[in-house]
Structure 1
Amino acid sequence: MPFPKSIRLVEVGPRDGLQNEPEPIDTPIKLELIDRLGAAGIRYIEAASFVSPKWVPQMADYREVMTGLTRRKGVTYSALTPNLEGLEVALECGVEEVAVFGAASETFSQKNINCSIAESLDRFAPVLERAKSAGVRVRGYVSCVLGCPYEGEIAPAKVAEVSKALYEMGCYEVSLGDTIGTGTPLKAKHMLEAVAKDIPIDKLAAHFHDTYGQALANLYAVLEEGVAVVDSSVAGLGGCPYAKGASGNVASEDVVYMLNGMGIESGIDLDKLAETGNWITQTIGRPNRSKVGVALAAK
């Protein structure tokens, strides 16, 4: 299959990237990060998470973030809403798109959202119904598609089953997450093959973490199969609180550099994106995990 001519990059840095930072990050910094990402040409930004501050204290300012951002024309600002309560608050804040997240691993589901996979899907049904009635699109996430910190290998058929349930429930797109970054290219292809039997390839996204340095290789493998939506995080920010050693998302700068080299259009200004990565990591005192960002800064 030929590579896609263009891809949509879903920037998860402001949410997935920052949510595990131990020190509170001021709301104005989050808002500036979102604005800089939009200025770099990113058209889809995951801005906040409407979850209990008890569980994710870093996201406690979701209202301020969602109502305080400067909306750019043509940019979607989405938020995570795992339950009806979160969705209602998000709707009050003018959210235009939300996401729910399930897992392909029973143990991970229990540890992450305190319920079984089946229970998590039951919980999402009213969220999707309410979102639909409010004219808000819902994206679905599946965690642990290429491995679990508790169960190890995950059967592609299990990933397909959970993905299909989310898609049939009304998620317009399903993002396949290698949460602990243990996947390798052929495994990624086999997993995608299983999921694509039930869901059209243009409704799937790749959310690959780079813990073992495999994310770009894995992305190349699924782009080759026709996936045209990639989740990434500026400067490679983020990890997973439930997966020890998981060093976080693939860096947006590294993805854009690879796409540019392949002649795949993303509409993103790499220099501006790299500047943003340097700015945010310096501001919050974190190392820049983007190889491209570090190389460009050294020039």
Structure 2
Amino acid sequence: MATVAPVPQGTRITICEVGPRDGFQSEKTFIPTQKKIEIANALFAAGLRHMQITSFVSPRAVPQLADAEEVLAGIDRPEGAWVTALVPNLRGAERAAGAGVDAVHTVLSASETHNLKNLNRPVDQSLAELDAVFDVLSGAGIVVEGGIATAFGCPFEGIVPPEQLARIARRYQDLGATSVSLGDTTGMATPLTVQAAIRAIRDAAPGLEIHLHFHNTRGVGLACVMTGLAEGVTHYDAAVGGLGGCPFAAGATGNICTEDLAYLLQESGYETGVDLDHLIDAAALAQDVIGRALPGQLLKAGPRLKRHDPELTLTAEG
């Protein structure tokens, strides 16, 4: 069974911000395009350099992301930025090819039922249709990052066998994907299922880089990150403020929170390139735009060594 050494302290860990796509897609009230651009730019200003900005999905299915081209055209890309978008099908790939993204994140589900709900087709049909998607994107010089939803469990079917993940990952590798991202669509991942999935994929597709995308539905998202680090994975998705949730999966809640993840990594001795104070400011901006309290913890408490004025704090009586 394929295993690698844990990621050593001091290593630069890639945080891919997915809030502008995965975070916004479930919001029922349309977020003005300029506000989406403002939040993305604030996240770039905090030091994030990998960002999934939007999705080229049908506006009828996800009206919130109908302005994909406008958002991509409006952001201020800093030097070294790696801007991606999700595409669910060939039509999405054709739109992305002319939109100026650096990479495209394809997606299909490991479970049959969720793939039918999310993409309206069986898994094997989605796999067969990848040829045309890759042809369009490679012809446009766009890197393809393969994605697998419900990688650690399906809300309709339960357990997803690691062998199914390995089969899909091998298909991605054969097509020329640079990486495969394992999506924890409804927060069913546990440290043991994460370990099993990583090792199965490394056995089946040893040249494929693994990315991890956790939700915090059951409160163990960051514990799963620690498992990923122990398995040598250096790329993690997260959403500002803990936004997110799949509209096509029962019980889905937010992604692991970007600022909480950055805090964990930095306090564990890893490099992120992120300024936590500026990242908290970006989360506060997102919270103001969304109009409700977001679940991120660092936004509420601040960093561990944040100091408070004792004169402004209540003193016990008696």
TM-score by length of 1: 0.96
Partner of 1:235: 241
Q: Once the 2 structures are TM-superposed, how far is the Cα of residue 262 of structure 1 from its aligned partner?
A: 1.1
Measured in 2, the distance between the counterparts of 1:221 and 1:102 equals 24
Deviation by residue 1:134-186 (Cα, 9 ceiling, x = unmatched)? 11101111011111010011111111111221222111110001111022111
Q: Once the 2 structures are TM-superposed, how far is the Cα of residue 202 of structure 1 from its aligned partner?
A: 6.6
Measured in 1, the distance between the counterparts of 2:121 and 2:250 equals 21
Q: Which amino acid aligns with 1:273?
A: L
Partner of 2:311: none
Partner of 2:63: 57
Measured in 1, the distance between the counterparts of 2:182 and 2:35 equals 29
Partner of 2:93: 87
- 2:224 aligned counterpart, secondary structure: helix
Partner of 2:313: none
Q: Which amino acid aligns with 2:249?
A: A
Gaps of 5+ in 1: none
Measured in 2, the distance between the counterparts of 1:67 and 1:100 equals 21
CA contact (8 A) 2:13 2:234 kept: yes
TM-score by length of 2: 0.90
Deviation by residue 1:198-230 (Cα, 9 ceiling, x = unmatched)? 233770011011000010001101110100000
Which of the two has higher C-alpha Rg? 2
Q: Which moved more, 1:272-281 or 1:85-94?
A: 85-94
1:223 aligns with 2:223: no
Measured in 2, the distance between the counterparts of 1:250 and 1:193 equals 22
- 1:266 aligned counterpart, secondary structure: coil
- 2:22 aligned counterpart, secondary structure: helix
Partner of 1:77: 83
1:178-193 matches, within 5 Å, as 178-193=184-199
1:160-179 matches, within 5 Å, as 160-179=166-185
Partner of 1:280: 286
Q: Once the 2 structures are TM-superposed, how far is the Cα of residue 269 of structure 1 from its aligned partner?
A: 0.9
CA contact (8 A) 2:107 2:148 kept: yes
CA contact (8 A) 2:16 2:51 kept: yes
- 2:25 aligned counterpart, secondary structure: coil
Measured in 1, the distance between the counterparts of 2:93 and 2:190 equals 35
CA contact (8 A) 1:201 1:227 kept: no
Q: Which amino acid aligns with 1:286?
A: R
Partner of 1:159: 165
